[in-house]
């Protein structure tokens, strides 16, 4: 990534144009692949708003933590609706993937999941897509999420745990209240929850701040942190500014914004 130096200070670039933060993995055509049937096998309530849907996908080609997929519903008359969703489960879940969806008011696809869906129902998925927000489990990972933005980060936490990886991994997860914290029962010492409206006794209430980041950044793992930020645009802006202000290199920050 180039910095914001005035144009005059920038060396004339050669014709090879390689400016961007590289993707974590090469993604070739077959990975996006074809639409595949998926069967809902289990439904697990996480919070009042968020529910996890477990899908059996016999032809799933596998994914890396942090990747997402496209999901399509088809009505009797052939009408279809499709959306992108992050994958919540770790890769080593043979033939199954899990999605955790917020119930969006009036949501055409999430509305079906939250009001109609039951085990045995069939949908279609395509993916995984995008290698940019992927984490193969190699570099130290500093994960920062809010609300359902924790979903792709949880795939990384689960992968880290399932493989017993030694590489450092930390998760800062923001929720409004303890009741709204998704996967609350699954976090371990790698996780610091941040509560913005109401917190358990003994925990401060407040927005993610430089004070939350400082101790993690001070760990300075070998090779440096690769930061993954996921949440609403407002949260992503806030968290990425905090990281930059605290000295995290801008080309080591990967951002996924929920529209």
The yes or no reply on residue 203 touching other proteins (CB under 8 A) is no
Distance CA 109, CA 107 (A): 6
Distance CA 83, CA 110 (A): 9
Residue 16 or 201 with smaller CB distance to other proteins: 16
The yes or no reply on residue 133 touching other proteins (CB under 8 A) is yes
Binding mask 157-196 for other proteins (x = CB under 8 A): ----------------------------------------
Residue 113 or 195 with smaller CB distance to other proteins: 113
Asked whether 96 and 39 are in contact (CB, 8 A), the reply is no
Pairing assessment for the beta strands 191-195 and 169-175 based on DSSP bridges: parallel
Which residues fall within 8 angstroms of residue 223, CB to CB, at 6 or more apart? 139, 140
Among the listed ranges 8-16, 56-64, 185-193, 194-202, the one in contact with other proteins (CB under 8 A) is 8-16
The yes or no reply on residue 131 touching other proteins (CB under 8 A) is yes
Which segments of the chain are extended strands (E)? 36-45, 50-56, 68-74, 80-86, 96-102, 122-129, 141-146, 169-175, 191-195, 226-232, 253-258
Q: What residues from 90 to 119 belong to the interface with other proteins (CB under 8 A)? A: 108, 112, 116-117
Among the listed ranges 41-49, 92-100, 125-133, 215-223, the one in contact with other proteins (CB under 8 A) is 125-133
Query: Binding other proteins by CB under 8 A: which of 31, 41, 177, 196?
Result: 31
Distance CA 80, CA 82 (A): 7
The yes or no reply on residue 29 touching other proteins (CB under 8 A) is yes
Asked whether 190 and 137 are in contact (CB, 8 A), the reply is no
Distance CA 252, CA 111 (A): 36
Q: What residues from 50 to 89 belong to the interface with other proteins (CB under 8 A)? A: 70, 73-84
The footprint of other proteins (CB under 8 A) covers 1-2, 4, 6-7, 13, 15-23, 26-32, 37, 70, 73-84, 108, 112, 116-117, 121-124, 129-133, 233, 237, 240-241, 243-244, 250-251, 253-257, 259
């Amino acid at each position: 990534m180039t910095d914001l130096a005035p144009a005059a200070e920038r060396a004339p670039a050669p014709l090879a144009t390689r400016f961007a933060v590289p993707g974590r993995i090469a993604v070739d055509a077959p990975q996006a692949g074809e639409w595949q049937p998926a069967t809902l096998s289990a439904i697990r309530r996480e919070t009042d708003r968020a529910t996890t849907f477990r899908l059996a996908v016999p032809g799933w080609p596998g994914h890396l933590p942090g990747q997402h997929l496209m999901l399509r519903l088809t009505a009797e008359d052939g009408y279809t609706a499709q959306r992108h969703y992050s994958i919540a489960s770790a890769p080593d879940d043979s033939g199954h993937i899990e999605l955790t969806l917020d119930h969006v008011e009036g949501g055409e696809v999430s509305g079906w999941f939250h009001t109609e869906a039951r085990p045995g129902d069939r949908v279609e998925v395509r993916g995984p897509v995008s290698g940019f927000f992927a984490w193969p489990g190699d570099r130290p990972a500093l994960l920062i999420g809010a609300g359902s933005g924790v979903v792709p980060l949880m795939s990384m936490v689960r992968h880290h745990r399932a493989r017993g990886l030694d590489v450092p991994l930390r998760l800062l997860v923001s929720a409004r209240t303890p009741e709204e914290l998704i996967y609350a029962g699954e976090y371990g010492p790698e996780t610091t929850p941040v509560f913005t409206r109401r917190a358990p006794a003994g925990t401060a209430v407040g927005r993610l701040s430089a004070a939350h980041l400082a101790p993690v950044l001070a760990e300075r793992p070998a090779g440096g942190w690769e930061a993954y930020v996921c949440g609403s645009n407002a949260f992503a802006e806030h968290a990425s500014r905090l990281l930059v202000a605290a000295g995290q290199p801008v080309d080591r920050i990967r951002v996924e914004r929920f529209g």
